[in-house]
Structure 1
């Protein structure tokens, strides 16, 4: 596969939120250099703009998961309208993923404890609610900002399905896990464990959840062996809450590096999906934009070569190939 020799330069000519990660993980830049770039997330580009949207009460768009005044019966709530991505949880997710230092949000944890309540039953923000994806985001964000989310951490082993994963529809009676929900929970658990060293119960839950996806080779139904759905092989950035082979492999890369092991061979089919999506010039295309209200776009329209997906795809293949899997 031919790789465009200008690719590293192209990826380095991006917002600081992406550039520092390219410097660290692909360009092998000195730590001093990528840390300097990472520090700029707070003062320029995407990070600075999103920080500027924070309300005085600590929230974004006046709400916890949905913007204030969201009409749950109106046109924006229709299935094809998409989740709005402007409220507090989504904004925190983005800033954390972009590497913002928590000091840039000093006092936010306390403000949210006082002022933010979930749209579900008006529950306190840092206590979480009933949706396991929302709770996983909150666990990671609270850990990052120094909130006390220890009670929320204990929630996940208690709500793990018998098959090893999680499903946000458990409250409606679902007893089968979801690829989407399980991956989102795993990301939250790994973030918590890496940041705090939380003990065996969370680690055991994480590994059981990983096995749920690995048994299915990240792509298939365990019952029939058929592909789980078309969305597993479609790549879009931001990942939001959506599952994809690329999103899942990126998680398993982080988990494997954290645990100090080697890539699980059951990732091979997902790696093949990622490799097959790579263009002749070494890039990956944005396949769609998840619909929904946003503060601003952070990646290219559908059909164009995506710097974010190219970073994630290049990093995933480099990790897999370097391990000789």
Structure 2
């Protein structure tokens, strides 16, 4: 792929948060070039805009998981709000904000000093109780250079017998969920990338991957039916929700870190990803989550999506590169 490809041109005609990833993952730009583009996330576009929404104490919307003064009726009537610290930090990580930049260092320090979880008043970087939330907190903390090993240790001890995780475990659930598992896996992968991981975290990541792979990323183990039809429809931002593209992008990142080959059990999800490609070689945004946001970062439901297209193209590039070599 080259810059003259119409889809690549369309992707590059975007925000720095997308451009630097296109340069690194799709057109093999020299590292100094994509790093220079990535630096702009702090000062231009969506990254700068989200940083500008930050409170003086380092939080967003005055809360860790929920905005300050949150009324539960809002969740029922308008959807879950996405403006508080947990989701804002995860979005900055997705944008690729440089963890070493001044604003990032200041942010994580202030959050450590001032943010506490609504659930039990725990300091932010000690984690909460739900596996989904703790998975994202591990991912954000590891990415931004925080010691989150205590949360990792907790998560590795909360695996269910089928190898994955479920936020409803405390309520008696004995079966893992796709969403909880992908949130934890992403956290454990970021922790491993930052620290090398622990024997326990690496083992847990392996059993979580097997949970998804044994189900072809979207099927019920017992019946073979899709566990949820929405898993086959692409959304962005995912927040805590699951779809096969999020899972495929995770497996790509995992394989690049460990040097492993793509697992053949990804094949059915890969085939579905190809089918969903539009005639103009882009991918659509199928749906979005309702609820309060700081600002929109996509073109709208049913429209070609730069975020979905970027992720789909780098997944297929990784898959096809391996399979062409080993054909």
The bucket for the TM-score relative to the shorter chain is: over 0.9
- TM-aligned CA deviation for residue 229 of structure 1: 1.0
CA-to-aligned-CA distance 1:238-295 (integer Å, 9 cap, x gap): 1211111111100001111111111000001100111111001100011112111100
Structure 2: gaps (5+ residues): none
- TM-aligned CA deviation for residue 106 of structure 1: 1.8
Alignment partner of 1:132 is 2:113: no
* Residue in 1 that maps onto 2:268: 269
In 2, are the aligned partners of 1:245 and 1:273 still within 8 Å (CA)? no
Report matched runs for 1:125-274 at 5 Å. 125-274=124-273
Q: 1:100 aligns with which of 97, 100, 120?
A: 97
- TM-aligned CA deviation for residue 66 of structure 1: 0.8
Tell me the secondary structure at the aligned position of residue 271 of structure 1.
helix
* Residue in 1 that maps onto 2:88: 91
Distance (Å, rounded) in 2 between the aligned partners of 1:82 and 1:166: 24
Distance (Å, rounded) in 1 between the aligned partners of 2:29 and 2:108: 33
- TM-aligned CA deviation for residue 148 of structure 1: 2.8
More displaced stretch, 53-62 vs 142-151: 142-151
Distance (Å, rounded) in 1 between the aligned partners of 2:319 and 2:96: 24
Distance (Å, rounded) in 2 between the aligned partners of 1:19 and 1:39: 11
State TM-score, norm by structure 2: 0.95
Structure 1 residue ranges, 4+ long, deviating more than 3 angstroms after superposition: none
Distance (Å, rounded) in 2 between the aligned partners of 1:261 and 1:113: 36
Aligned residues: 319
CA-to-aligned-CA distance 1:292-313 (integer Å, 9 cap, x gap): 1100000111111111111111
State TM-score, norm by structure 1: 0.95
- TM-aligned CA deviation for residue 168 of structure 1: 0.6
Structure 1: gaps (5+ residues): none
* Residue in 2 that maps onto 1:71: 71
* Residue in 2 that maps onto 1:60: 60
- TM-aligned CA deviation for residue 156 of structure 1: 1.0
* Residue in 2 that maps onto 1:46: 46
- The alignment's C-alpha RMSD in Å is 1.3
- TM-aligned CA deviation for residue 30 of structure 1: 1.1
Tell me the secondary structure at the aligned position of residue 168 of structure 1.
coil
Tell me the secondary structure at the aligned position of residue 168 of structure 2.
helix
